[in-house]
């Protein structure tokens, strides 16, 4: 569906894609935060870091940022909190002292394994509102939108030929 028939300035907020996505993201984050606080005493950033580190056993913060798209300062604070709780270990890289190698500790792995089924059921519940074809279509649309976000150059004015 194209919004060409109605100018952007006249579109209701509910039809502006970035508004809807932001509202959905806020609701998903709120839901996850409540579940995580109740079940694991983790916040959402900490959960995401544990999840990332469970798939890449030894990583560096820069890689976590690149893969997740999370804000580097949130990653840094999350790493500090997880390290203080003994859930991850951080070791300086021998070759690049500015870089820390991160990995889950046994306690971090245990908490991750305890929390994983809960977050898995949440994920399944979200997917259950769509059939297989709808889910594939939706993921395809998300891929297209993500690719579109890489375009940074939108002209200030439209070139119209008279």
From first to last of the 162 residues of the chain, give the pLDDT tens digit. 454 567 888 899 988 999 999 999 999 999 999 999 999 999 999 999 999 999 886 678 778 888 888 888 999 999 999 999 999 998 877 777 677 889 999 999 999 999 999 999 999 999 999 999 999 999 999 999 999 988 888 766 555 554
Tell me whether residue 81 is in a domain: yes
The two three-digit tokens of residue 22, written as one number: 């932001």
Residue 65, domain CATH: 1.10.10.10
Residue 47 is assigned to a structural domain of this protein = yes
Residue 97's pLDDT is: 66
Domain presence at residue 130: yes
Q: What confidence score (pLDDT) does residue 155 get?
A: 66
Cα separation of 44 and 59, whole Å?
19
Quick one: 41 exposed, middle or buried, by C-beta within 10 A (0-12, 13-18, 19+)? Answer: exposed
Query: Is this structure's pTM higher than 0.75?
Result: yes
154: in domain: no
Is 156 inside any structural domain?
no
Phi, psi of 149 (to 5 degrees): -70, -15
Q: How far apart are CA 31 and CA 26, in angstroms?
A: 9
Side-chain-side CA neighbours of 73 within 13 Å: the count stands at: 0
Domain-embedded: residue 5: no
Residue 38 domain boundaries: 13-148
Please count the structural domains in the chain: 1
Contact status, residue 105 vs residue 89, Cβ threshold 8 Å: yes
Residue 161: inside a domain, yes or no?
A: no
Q: Is residue 143 part of a domain?
A: yes
């Amino acid at each position: 569906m194209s919004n060409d028939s109605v100018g952007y300035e006249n579109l209701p907020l509910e039809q502006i894609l970035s508004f809807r996505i932001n509202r959905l993201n806020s609701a998903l984050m709120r839901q996850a935060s409540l579940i995580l606080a109740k079940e694991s005493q983790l916040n959402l950033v900490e959960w995401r870091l544990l999840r990332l580190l469970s798939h890449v056993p030894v990583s560096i913060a820069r890689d976590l940022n690149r893969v997740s798209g999370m804000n580097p300062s949130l990653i840094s604070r999350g790493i500090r909190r997880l390290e203080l709780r003994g859930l991850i270990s951080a070791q300086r890289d021998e070759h690049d002292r500015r870089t820390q190698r991160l990995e889950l500790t046994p306690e971090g792995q245990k908490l991750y394994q305890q929390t994983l089924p809960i977050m898995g059921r949440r994920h399944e519940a979200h997917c259950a509102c769509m059939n297989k074809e709808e889910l594939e279509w939706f993921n395809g649309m998300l891929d297209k939108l993500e690719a579109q976000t890489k375009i940074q150059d939108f002209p200030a004015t439209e070139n119209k030929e008279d």
